Amino acid sequence: MTARAFASSADLAQKEQTLELLAEGVYALTAEGDPNVGAIEGEDFLVAFEALATPVAAREWLVRLRQHTDKPVRYLVLSHYHAVRVLGASAFDAQVIVTHEQTRRLITERGQQDWDSEFGRMPRLFKEPGSIPGLTHPDVTFTDTLTIPLGGERGDLVLRYCGRGHTAGDIVAWLPRHRILFAGDLVEAQAALYTGDAFHRDWSTTTLDAVGALGAEQLVGGRGAVAKSAGAVAAAIAQTRGFLTTMLAEVGAVKARGGTLKEAFDATHAALYDQFGRWPIFEHCLPFDVSRLWDELSGVDWPRIWTAERDREVWDQLQSDGQG
């Protein structure tokens, strides 16, 4: 048997980045399943959404953005605490870094372990890792809603907490005037879900209900293509929910009959494979996803901290006899 390469450590092929203008002054950069980022113009400032994994990676995005606008970045909004979304923050020279209050807590509690873990799982995303000056900490946090008036006739950018989901502290950025939603990792379009820090039951029910209730007509998910119609948005949300409810059904059934974690992994893999198996990071994520859901269904409410060591243990237990 050939061992499957750990997580995304063997994924070294560069992805094509595409900058899209979703409305006047509203930008999304997608990257064939790598983490997406965005930016929204105010009258005399910019709001950047997500920061990528390193300042060098973030600067490449800013070079693309600077072909369209030279406004300074006043706010850098980070949807959640994961290293590949936040450690490039210093490149933006933002006046204010904004997160949910729970994201502040998670960075303090486990930011360093998450950095080490994600670097091991996805080394390609950490372009020139030595350029990271340290952990990214927010300047401003909120618990429910934070509204940023964009000035002039531009309307508001509304930052919203929709409930526990991909992490305890995900937020979305909503432009009601354009009905455009930056959903972070709460919604993925044609990329597998990472649920290693997730709250599957909340996410698959009330949290996605709240995301859907916004009525977006364009949606930028955490990874994958932009959904560009109300129907495409609904499909992306439904597909995300389906991934979660399939996991809940499969892991729940194995648990109910007294089976093992490995059996839960194999059953979940089989149930998801036809629809999701060829999408980015499916094999990478699934051992961590099933491990977390197993904990959640065992009564572990607050996710255990992933460390580089624990990553390898879970991988060896669940994925090492891989078909690759």
Interface contacts to Zn ion, rule CB under 5 A: 82, 185
CB of 260 to Zn ion, least distance (A): 27
Nearer to Zn ion, 84 or 267 (CB): 84
Nearer to Zn ion, 25 or 35 (CB): 35
CB of 258 to Zn ion, least distance (A): 32
CB of 10 to Zn ion, least distance (A): 21
Nearer to Zn ion, 82 or 241 (CB): 82
Nearer to Zn ion, 66 or 304 (CB): 304
Residues 286 and 250: their CA atoms lie apart, in Å, by: 13
Nearer to Zn ion, 82 or 154 (CB): 82
CB of 155 to Zn ion, least distance (A): 28
CB of 82 to Zn ion, least distance (A): 4
CB of 313 to Zn ion, least distance (A): 21
Nearer to Zn ion, 185 or 311 (CB): 185
3-class secondary structure per residue, the chain:
CCCCCCCCCCCCCCCCCEEEEEECCEEEEEECCEEEEEEEECCCCEEEECCCCCHHHHHHHHHHHCCCCCCCEEEEECCCCCHHHHCCHHHHCCCEEEEEHHHHHHHHHHHHHHHHHHHHHCHHHCCCHHHCCCCCCCCEEECCEEEEECCCCCCEEEEEECCCCCCCCCEEEEECCCCEEEEECCCCCCCCCCCCCCCHHHHHHHHHHHHHHCCCCEEEECCCCCECCHHHHHHHHHHHHHHHHHHHHHHHHHHHCCCCHHHHHHHHHHHHHHHHCCCCCHHHHHHHHHHHHHHHHCCCCCCCCCCHHHHHHHHHHHCCCCCC
CB 62 within 8 A of CB 134: no
CB of 138 to Zn ion, least distance (A): 16
CB of 11 to Zn ion, least distance (A): 17
Nearer to Zn ion, 82 or 121 (CB): 82
Estimate the crossing angle of helix 230-256 against helix 261-276, to 10 degrees: 160
Nearer to Zn ion, 164 or 178 (CB): 164
Nearer to Zn ion, 78 or 267 (CB): 78
Distance set, CA 321 to CA 1, 210, 283, 289, 317 (Å) = 7, 39, 12, 17, 9
CB of 1 to Zn ion, least distance (A): 31
Q: Which residue is nearest to Zn ion (CB)?
A: 82
Other Cβ atoms within 10 Å of 14 Cβ, number: 10
Angle made by CA atoms 158, 242, 50, in degrees to the nearest 5: 35
